[in-house]
Amino acid sequence: MSETLTFASAISPGELRTFAGHFATGVAVVTTADPAGALHGVTITAVTSLSLEPPLFLICLDQRSNTLAALLESGHFVLHFLSREQAAISRVFASKQPDKFAEIRHRPGRRGSPIIEDVVAAAECSIREVCPGGDHSIIIGAVDHVHVHGGEPLLYHRGAYAALECERKVA
């Protein structure tokens, strides 16, 4: 049983956003198709691997998100890790535009959730559990199938997109 705790915050949402911005994160997009077939998606950075056995991922979505409502109704979603060349895709899914998929190359996944083309990796997931988390919902997804294409990930740090600068070992 989940319990929601309330407390007086000593910091503002802006202060927390500034603090959290100092932690570099990967940029992800979550997509789903509602039971009527309408496609939904949103850009997120709140994502983490939760368990290897069973294979679980954790994502957090704002409770005001239209994608959250569709995801809860469908029971499934695709988690995409964007490549460093896909900042424009991140911006589209972070927007409120009505048809986010109009200019995005995608195909249907095994359960109908759209899979965005050319991402670093994508995981098709089924909702395992939903927990409250302040103004967000914490969704635990069971990973049903993965698509790994590789490439350099898109990062987000201190309010801007970034990319890894890695030295490659010469064999």
pTM of the model: 0.86
- Smallest CA-to-CA distance from 79 within 44, 52, 130, 128 is with 44
Is pLDDT above 90 for 58? yes
The tens digit of pLDDT for each residue in 123-163 reads 999 999 999 999 999 999 999 999 999 999 998 877 877 87
Measured between alpha carbons, how far is 134 from 131 in angstroms, rounded to an integer? Answer: 10
The pLDDT assigned to 1 comes to 47
